[in-house]
Amino acid sequence: MLLRHTTKEVKVREGLTINPAKTCQPVGALYAALGIHGCLPHSHGSQGCCAYHRSMLTRHYKEPVMAATSSFTEGASVFGGQANLLASIDTIFSVYDPDIIAVHSTCLSETIGDDLQQITKKAKDDGKIPEGKHVIYASTPSFVGSHVTGYANMVVGMAEQFAESTGEKKEQVNLIAGWMEPSDMREIKKISKELGARIVLFPDTSDVLDAPQTGKHEFYPKGGVTIPELKSTGDSLSSIALGCISAEPAAVALDKKFGVPFETVDMPIGISATDRFIMALSKAAGVSVPDEITSERGRLLDAMTDMDQYFYGKKVALFGDPDQLIPLTEFLLDLGMLPIHIVSGTPGKRFEKRMAEILERSPGANFKNGPGADTFLLHQWMKNEPVDLLIGNSYGKYIARDENIPFIRFGFPIVDRIGHSYFPSVGYSGGLRLVEKILSVFMDRQDREAPEEKFELVM
Amino acid sequence: MESKTQFPDPSQVREELIEKYPAKVAKKRNKSIIINDPETVPEVQANVRTVPGIITQRGCSYAGCKGVVLGPTRDVVNITHGPIGCGFYSWLTRRNQTKPETDADANFITYCFSTDMQEENIVFGGEKKLKVAIQEAYDLFHPKAIAIFSTCPVGLIGDDVHAASREMKEKFGDCNVFGFSCEGYRGVSQSAGHHIANNGIFKHMVGRNNEIKEGKFKLNLLGEYNIGGDAFEIERIFNKCGLTINSSFSGNSTVGQLENAHMADLNAIMCHRSINYMGDMLETKYGIPWMKINFIGAESSAKSLRKIAEYFGDAELKARVEEVIKEEMPKVKEVIDEILPRTSGKTAMLFVGGSRAHHYQDLFSELGMTTVAAGYEFAHRDDYEGREVLPNIKVDADSKNIEELKIEADPELYKPRKTEAELEELKAKGLEINSYEGMMKQMMKKSLVVDDISHYESEKLIEIYKPDIFCAGVKEKYVVQKMGVPLKQLHSYDYGGPYTGFEGAVNFYRDIDRMVNNPVWKLIKAPWQKTADSEKESLSASYVTQ
């Protein structure tokens, strides 16, 4: 057994986290910053963080993930990292020539109290930022929240530090992407186009973290939201935040600063959440829903009805990030399944409340988030009440193997398969992909384990 | 070795590499980019702080300590004291395989343990939470040992992990608890973490287990972390030869083994950088000499086996070693004979950690490939230039706070395994005892040596040299491949391996053959991109009836 020390008996832990269902803020900020065109993310801390964050994202995407670091030494850790950041800005603009440097902090620079706003202002005053170039920042202390918080903070940084108001409204809707895959962002843009809605999607990592092999390394790939687009977000009709944890804070920031009204919807995973997203976008953009989208919805629904016997009443354990777990849980319930064990390492009352509402449809479900909500606990719950399916990131494979449970990789990080960056999970087509994946793992298991006389050709 | 490779003018290359840097940065990088001469071995600037913003490959001291050195020991509960990231990123991401003897034996490698520090722990201190965590780990798992690893904020807020560990160790009585001050900002790279780990393991573990293991020729395998099963292959060969691995630092190791390290008669060192401290300390305190070995490459493996047999000086062992080499070599030869014509004359670049950039040159040379440029992320001058330069290395301000343990001969356990005269005799036979000659003596004249290479420099090197293969890590992998050059990961082996010993050599030959001759590289240009626009033709075929 790979997790042979995991006990069935659940004891409350106050100090020890085991096999976390989250990681730390900066990796989220790094990911978000890659969703700006011409941007080099920068980690203001000791270089180990940056190496780890780049490596994790690289393993997840099998793509280049560029970022620089202030490379703190012990001296800087005691006396402050201002000199390191100023030197970094100088070297980065000389050598790598980005349009924007997006700086995030780590637990090191946050503990010593480096003020990114002050340092970036000094860089500007000292003439270290070339004409037409930008440095933005987000404070991302690793001891608060999770990687999702870091993502949200960097997206707020984009909104606050780029958006402008010309006083003239633009016929466009801001779509603020929660932490989703480049494939999902591509799908969101496709849906918006089909609807005929004019949007600005930010951040946008499509064509950045799913770049083609051309024999040439584009240090700044063609994707990413552009600076003019970001600037224009202050003039948009309204914003739709896709995810209350990772996207809403930026929508709030735009509302506060420029009076851009917003609506928050769940990330459009599954049928109900996608329905709400389509409704919200068609309303905000003043467009009607074309038949093609209705047909696409119908095809997803068709698959759900055709195969309902494989879904109904099946128990599911899942772990991951709040903005995905909310609609995913709802989708499982729409499929007639029973999500019974759910953990998310990311803390937050908002998430708890939403999950409590959704889980009213799954009486007796175990749910926990924040400190102590780790996959060790999830595994213990599963030992007490077994499930038919596990959904989570790659770390779930250890549990799945020990317990011999069908497993679907979903969320971040997925480091042992591809697909997440190429095929969407959002929208009706994403729903169809999820349905197919669930069916495949169930049916593969049935094919593998059925006695010979019960082995079926048609399923 | 004769090379068919034409080297570009290296001084011009160096100029190109640094011309874009701001003046101060250029001046500094100039000293880390060296035109090699194996005869005179020029001085390399190494183990100095990273240039901020330059895009380094380097990691931190925590990674060097927890991730590299003690991480592979399966039955110790390694608790990361810090916010969640450090523990998360070092959770199963290095491929140090381990194989417990029975299903009942402890194995915590698949677990990540963390105190998951929150804001209030930063403000009010995290020691209390740490002690609760240690208690919970003890209650849940009853491990033989619990090790605590400090992360960046721990040193800054003044948590005393050592005091907390001592307190808990006394409380438990049957569980060794100890801490490491391996905060990420210490030193300038992973290297500081290696040193801190060596010190901690030596102080808190080595010497606690006086068990006398069976076996006539007992050696410790130092600096071998069993990536992709490397140590398994070495163990297979050792077993065939009649050599016993007393303890392994630290691939496939256990707490009991590390505690028993002082009972071996030789320390065989694979990775000099990470574990030479342990070699020296075991020599000084217990009288066990160390010897540099290299099991990367079939020839190197044979050579290392012969050196080990020579050390023990036993005729039967020497004969057995020759038999094993004779047994193993034919299947290696069969593969290399097939592959050599496809790889011969090609070029490689290696920019890896603190050891492999040297060792793997042997494998490339067996493949008939020339290493045109190489460098380490975090090695020191002795790894480049050889240990004879050690007296001339000045510890700079960034590394001076890494503790140097004062070791003395153990009054009871010190027992020189060889007399001075015997050691001199072995050295005269060409055995490097307590010595390592470094990477540069092996490299061609005019090849480039680059320490702590930046992204910019590697991109430039690829542009200029167009190597057939580039060896580095996961952060570089897809960048380099986007340039149309295959990248062999020499940290993770691209999830293959082992690459050590005879079977490893065969694996490596096949992998490199696949990579440099893969048809996919020829497909990058779409057919409609292959002709210039002016030459584009419209469809010319016509439907012809016969």
Summarize the confidence of residues B487-511 as an average pLDDT. 98
DSSP string covering B513-527, please?
Answer: HHHHT-GGGGGSS-G
Contact, B352 vs B489, CB < 8 A? no
| CA neighbours closer than 13 Å in the CB half-sphere of residue A148 | 29
**What burial class does residue B243 get, using C-beta atoms within 10 Å of its C-beta: 0-12 exposed, 13-18 middle, 19+ buried?**
buried
The SS3 call for residue A288 is coil
pLDDT at residue A329 is higher than 90: yes
Buried b (16+ CB within 10 A) or exposed e, B67-92: bbbbbbbbbbbbbbbbbbbbbbbbbb
pLDDT tens-digit map of A394-427: 999 999 999 999 999 999 999 999 999 999 999 9
Give chain B's length. Answer: 546
Q: B522 at the A interface (CB within 8 A)?
A: no
pLDDT at residue B39 is higher than 70: yes
Check residue B533 and give its pLDDT. Answer: 55
Name the one residue in this structure whose structure tokens are 């970094």: A88
- Sorted by where each starts, the structural domains of chain A and their CATH numbers stand as 2-16+295-452 (3.40.50.1980), 25-144 (3.40.50.1980), 170-293 (3.40.50.1980)
pLDDT tens-digit map of B305-364: 999 999 999 999 999 999 999 999 999 999 999 999 999 999 999 999 999 999 999 999
Give chain A's length. Answer: 459
Summarize the confidence of residues A145-150 as an average pLDDT. 98
Neighbours of A246 (CB within 10 A): 30
Beta strand pairing call for A17-18 and B113-114? antiparallel
Residue B26 appears among annotated catalytic residues: no
Q: Which helix (H) or strand (E) holds B5?
A: none
Nearest to B45 by CA among B308, B290, B396: B396
Contact, B494 vs A184, CB < 8 A? no
Nearest to A5 among B79, B108, B398 (CB): B108
Nearest to B355 by CA among B311, B278, B292, B446: B292
pLDDT at residue B543 is higher than 70: no
All residues of chain B having their beta carbon less than 8 Å from the beta carbon of residue A214 are 482, 524
Q: Are the beta carbons of B103 and A73 separated by less than 8 Å?
A: no
Beta-carbon contacts below 8 Å between A and B = 262
Min Cα separation B179/chain A (Å): 16
pLDDT tens-digit map of B278-307: 999 999 999 999 999 999 999 999 999 999
Residues near A305 by beta carbon (within 8 Å), at least 6 away in sequence: none
Token code pair at residue B248: 């392994």
Using CA atoms, how far apart are residues B475 and B92, in angstroms rounded to an integer?
17
Nearest to A68 among B55, B60, B86 (CB): B55
Using CA atoms, how far apart are residues B52 and B29, in angstroms rounded to an integer?
12
Residue B271 appears among annotated catalytic residues: no
Using CA atoms, how far apart are residues B485 and B468, in angstroms rounded to an integer?
7
All residues of chain A having their beta carbon less than 8 Å from the beta carbon of residue B473 are 55
**What burial class does residue A386 get, using C-beta atoms within 10 Å of its C-beta: 0-12 exposed, 13-18 middle, 19+ buried?**
middle
Q: Which of these is catalytic: B60, B164, B379, B471? A: B60
- Sorted by where each starts, the structural domains of chain B and their CATH numbers stand as 61-184 (3.40.50.1980)
pLDDT tens-digit map of B48-72: 999 999 999 999 999 999 999 999 9
Neighbours of B244 (CB within 10 A): 17
Q: Are the beta carbons of A23 and B84 separated by less than 8 Å?
A: yes
Q: Which residues pair with B222 in a beta bridge?
A: B249, B269
Residue B60 appears among annotated catalytic residues: yes
Summarize the confidence of residues B220-226 as an average pLDDT. 98
* Candidates A9, A62, A71, A88, partner chain B, best to mutate (most B CBs within 10 A): A71
Residue B194 appears among annotated catalytic residues: yes
Q: Taking CA atoms, what residue in B is nearest to A65?
A: B475
Contact, A249 vs A309, CB < 8 A? no
Residues near B521 by beta carbon (within 8 Å), at least 6 away in sequence: B484, B486
The SS3 call for residue B343 is helix
Contact, A369 vs A345, CB < 8 A? yes
Contact, A234 vs A164, CB < 8 A? yes
Q: Which of these is catalytic: B14, B29, B46, B63? A: B63
Phi-psi region of A418 (alpha: psi -120 to 50; beta: other; left: phi over 0): beta
pLDDT tens-digit map of A347-376: 999 999 999 999 999 999 999 999 899 999
pLDDT at residue B532 is higher than 80: no
Q: Are the beta carbons of B84 and A214 separated by less than 8 Å?
A: no
Check residue B6 and give its pLDDT. Answer: 77
Q: Taking CA atoms, what residue in B is nearest to A103?
A: B53
Nearest to B83 by CA among A396, A149, A106: A106
Q: Are the beta carbons of B156 and A108 separated by less than 8 Å?
A: yes
Check residue A371 and give its pLDDT. Answer: 87
Nearest to B4 by CA among B361, B373, B368, B439: B368
Q: B82 at the A interface (CB within 8 A)?
A: yes
DSSP string covering A102-153, please?
Answer: EEEE-HHHHHHT--HHHHHHHHHHTT-S-TT-EEEEE---TTSS-HHHHHHH
Q: Taking CA atoms, what residue in A is nearest to B455?
A: A66
Task: Say if the ipTM goes beyond 0.95.
Answer: yes
Check residue A130 and give its pLDDT. Answer: 98
Q: Name the CA radius of gyration of chain A, rounded.
A: 23
Q: B107 at the A interface (CB within 8 A)?
A: yes
Residues near A77 by beta carbon (within 8 Å), at least 6 away in sequence: A46, A108, A112, B152, B155, B156, B183, B185
pLDDT at residue A209 is higher than 80: yes
Residues near A441 by beta carbon (within 8 Å), at least 6 away in sequence: A389, A406, A407, A408
pLDDT category at B510 given cuts 50, 70, 90 is very high
Mean model confidence pLDDT for chain B: 96
Min Cα separation B405/chain A (Å): 20
Contact, B384 vs B438, CB < 8 A? yes
pLDDT at residue A284 is higher than 80: yes
Q: Are the beta carbons of B84 and A53 separated by less than 8 Å?
A: no
**Which DSSP category does A225 fall into?**
B
Check residue B1 and give its pLDDT. Answer: 46
Which pairs from B390-397 meet CB under 8 Å and 24+ separation?
B396/B48, B396/B49, B397/A75
Task: Evaluate the omega torsion of the peptide bond into residue A451 and state whether it is cis, within 30 degrees of 0.
Answer: no
Sheet of A407-409, strand order: A366-369, A338-344, A315-319, A389-392, A407-409
pLDDT category at B106 given cuts 50, 70, 90 is very high
All residues of chain B having their beta carbon less than 8 Å from the beta carbon of residue A11 are 136, 139-140
